Amino acid sequence: MEQQTTTKSPVRKKGRWKKILLIGLLLLLVIGVGVFIYIYSYINKSLPHIEGTIALPHLQNEVTVITDENGVPHISAQNDHDLYIAQGYVQAQYRLFQMDLSRRQASGTLSEVVGESAINNDKYFRALGLRRAAEKSYDTYTDEGIEVLELFAEGVNAYINEAIEDGKLPIEYTLLGVEPEEWSTIDSLTIGKYMAFDLGGNWERQAFNYYLLNQFSDEKALELFPAYPKNKPTIMEDGEIDITGILEHAVIPHDFNGSNNWVVSGEKTASGHPLLADDPHLGLATPSIWLQMHLESADVNVGGVIFAGVPGIILGHNENIAWGVTNANPDVQQLYMEKRNPDNKEEFEFEGKWEKALVHEEPIKVKDGKTIDFQVLETRHGPIISEFAEDSAKDTVFSLRWTALDATTELEAILDINRAEDWETFEKGLEKFIVPTQNFVFAGKDGTIAYKANGKIPIYETSEDALLPLPGWEAKYEWKDFIPFDELPRIVNPEKGFIATANNKIAGESYAYHISNVWAQPYRYERITEVLEARDDFTVEDMQSLQMDAMNLRAREFVPLFNDVLTGVNLGEAEKEALELLRNWDYKDGVELPQPLIFHSWFDEIDAILYDEIPESMMEFFSANGQTTDELLRKSINGEKSIWVEENGGLEKVLQTSLTAAVMKLADKYSEDMEAWRWGDYHKVQFYHPLSNVHPILAYFFNREKPIPVDGSAVTPMAAAYKKETGEVDHGASWRFVIDMDQPVVGYHIVAPGQMGHFRSEWYHDQMNDWAEGNFHRTKIKDAQGKEMLLKPSIE
């Protein structure tokens, strides 16, 4: 019988491969889903616990933590011992990576976890010596202050140990391949010193003035020296008083580091009690620089905000008082030129003799690299901050005298303020608040409103002495004393019924002491006082609206003046259209308007023309240059000679050329249709996470929300300073706060972008839109409602 052979059908073979392929795809999908679930469960593991019971070492009694609907922790303890342990633990749950990064930034140890990209940053902060200053400060603290620092550190370390043991460290540590080191008392004090760095300084303007005198004629240089505009308001009315190369890697704080605050007497409010408002202007990022908390024990009941990594509440209210701050901009930093001994680089001249500098060994560990041997020299004035630039600083040496590098006791002041009951006890607490010098406004349940520019301010013989680096080899230029505490600027219950500050000039000629040469432009303050003078029935909602006010008084001053100068000038059609739009503007920097885009771009081009001779490397030292530009323009408009204007063809040419450049650039970027331009197409806020620029995937997770168009600018009460290159709003109201002392247990807050540092938390970016739109949340320091966590003493 003949054997038959059979062959498989091509159709059947194809179906089999389809089935194999389908099974393979399903397996890949299952594996992918499994990996995805594993990654997300791993990430979610590090979310803060806000419910249940946790055993916490060192506690004496149980502590209750209620997290309200906005992610605000309300910590209630039977005693202060347990309160500060719990505060450290909760802060670490919310913001451990931020706390770690902050102490490393301030201590100059970022290179240990980031690598060689942070070496210059570390060198600068090692030279500056914030951590050395924190160590000096620790030695001056009382037993109570040291105990609070130690208890807080115990709470932080309890969470660090728990997170390492349970494998639930924030994802950022996994990405960097590191673990956090133990928290110390000095870490908290170093973060406090960093905030003094971020908020107070004038040495960069001294360096810039020195550069001007060495590059230009005296007359031309002096025209750019700082001057406050004449006839502009000060906080206290008269009679109301009761260097290119050598600094190339310097870290310069944002020169817009300011704030708004005000307090209104009950005579001008609907409730008959004082209203207080505060919005400190700092960098805008994820997480927020502030963490809102409520602390309650037998001795204290206080709510508000604190820097992550520090115990207590630095700004806020208790059941009797409320307070807020703005930066006072005092001259508390002084550059000194030092004469070095050519035969011994560690010696510097003083009064004809060589003095040996202190030598600080500051080895810098570098991730995946060799440890760098770094040495810091400290003269009688302070650290040599030009030395870190290495070869470029061989011949010119600058040291820095700065009040924040002295031993200071801000935490002691915070603890006293948190417990204060009235103006007298509050002001007593301020005696310990030395740096940074701040404008404090105060409201009491008893109806008192008050103000004090508080901190350690050196006495200068003349204001000119603070304009330039001083000879460090002559005793006559030494700081000899400080303004006495009882003679610092102070106002209590003024007749006009309110007190406001916005980093503007504090006092007129009648004040006995020099405070500063550099102030913020007066426009925010003028607008705030304009509103507060207008009515006598203010409410919380009115104060919130004023914090969101986008009225641009710089535009209101200069647009009509510019229009007059250009009347009759042969302008192009685009320039004519731009001027016509500006003439019909209500001067509000609103997102839907083209005028703010035209106006701010015009001023950017004016700056580019006027300061074309100044290299970009020196422009960042030209702090508060908007004030200088305004003064140059005012001089020219009033018929006075301005060298910087005249050398660029005169006022008419400067305005015409800059306007043409502005509208051309805007047309190229947006469209020829000028009326379709929108301020919000350029002026947007995002709140970037520090790792979001490492890779697009990280950016997706850490900053997945789209940038939000926002009103305002650097000169409006709705403070929103931005990067000129991109329009990215990176600086503004880091916290907004309003309170009516009719109900002192209730405060109204915005902490953008949110409370949590974990991107999977519902409170990570939930206040971004609130920040842009002015939606406040209501927080009580009594009878809090929310999810409850119990911290119990662990059995050791």
Cα 70 from Cα 778, distance rounded (Å):
9
> Which residue positions form the known binding site?
331
292 backbone φψ class: left, alpha, beta (φ>0; ψ -120 to 50): beta
Q: How many other C-beta atoms lie within 10 A of the C-beta of residue 220?
A: 16
Collect all residues with Cβ–Cβ distance below 8 Å to 282 and sequence separation of at least 6. Answer: 198, 199, 254, 257, 289, 731, 734
Cβ-contact 781, 774 below 8 angstroms: no
Phi first, then psi, for residue 514 (nearest 5°) are -80, 135
Cα 332 from Cα 401, distance rounded (Å):
8
H or E segment at 164? helix 143-166
Burial of 729 (0-12, 13-18, 19+ CB in 10 A): buried
Integer CA distances (angstroms), 794 to 57, 58, 75, 227, 790, in order: 5, 7, 18, 61, 12
Q: Which amino acid is at 456?
A: K
> Which residue positions form the known binding site for Ca(2+)?
331
Strand pairing of 301-307 and 353-356? unpaired
Cα 331 from Cα 457, distance rounded (Å):
7
139 backbone φψ class: left, alpha, beta (φ>0; ψ -120 to 50): alpha
Residues linked to residue 276 through DSSP beta bridges, in sequence order? 263, 739
Q: Look-up: residue for tokens 């728990």? A: 162
Cβ-contact 689, 497 below 8 angstroms: no
Q: Hey, CA dihedral for 765, 191, 778, 62, is it positive or negative?
A: positive
**Longest CA span, the chain:** 129
Cα 75 from Cα 83, distance rounded (Å):
7
Collect all residues with Cβ–Cβ distance below 8 Å to 621 and sequence separation of at least 6. Answer: 204, 205, 207, 208, 211, 243, 247, 252
Strand order in the sheet with 787-793: 52-56, 787-793, 63-67, 73-76, 290-296, 301-307, 315-318, 321-327, 438-444, 449-454, 490-492
Collect all residues with Cβ–Cβ distance below 8 Å to 597 and sequence separation of at least 6. Answer: 666, 677, 678, 679, 681, 682, 683
Which amino acids are annotated catalytic?
A: 259
52 backbone φψ class: left, alpha, beta (φ>0; ψ -120 to 50): left
Cα 452 from Cα 450, distance rounded (Å):
7
Distance from the Cα of residue 445 to its chain's centroid: 30
Burial of 735 (0-12, 13-18, 19+ CB in 10 A): buried
Query: ∠579-582-585 over CA atoms, to 5°?
Result: 155
Tokens of 759: 């991107």
Collect all residues with Cβ–Cβ distance below 8 Å to 349 and sequence separation of at least 6. Answer: 338, 339, 340, 341, 355, 472, 473
Cα 166 from Cα 188, distance rounded (Å):
25
Strand pairing of 52-56 and 787-793? parallel
744 backbone φψ class: left, alpha, beta (φ>0; ψ -120 to 50): alpha
Cα 184 from Cα 173, distance rounded (Å):
19
Cα 260 from Cα 546, distance rounded (Å):
10
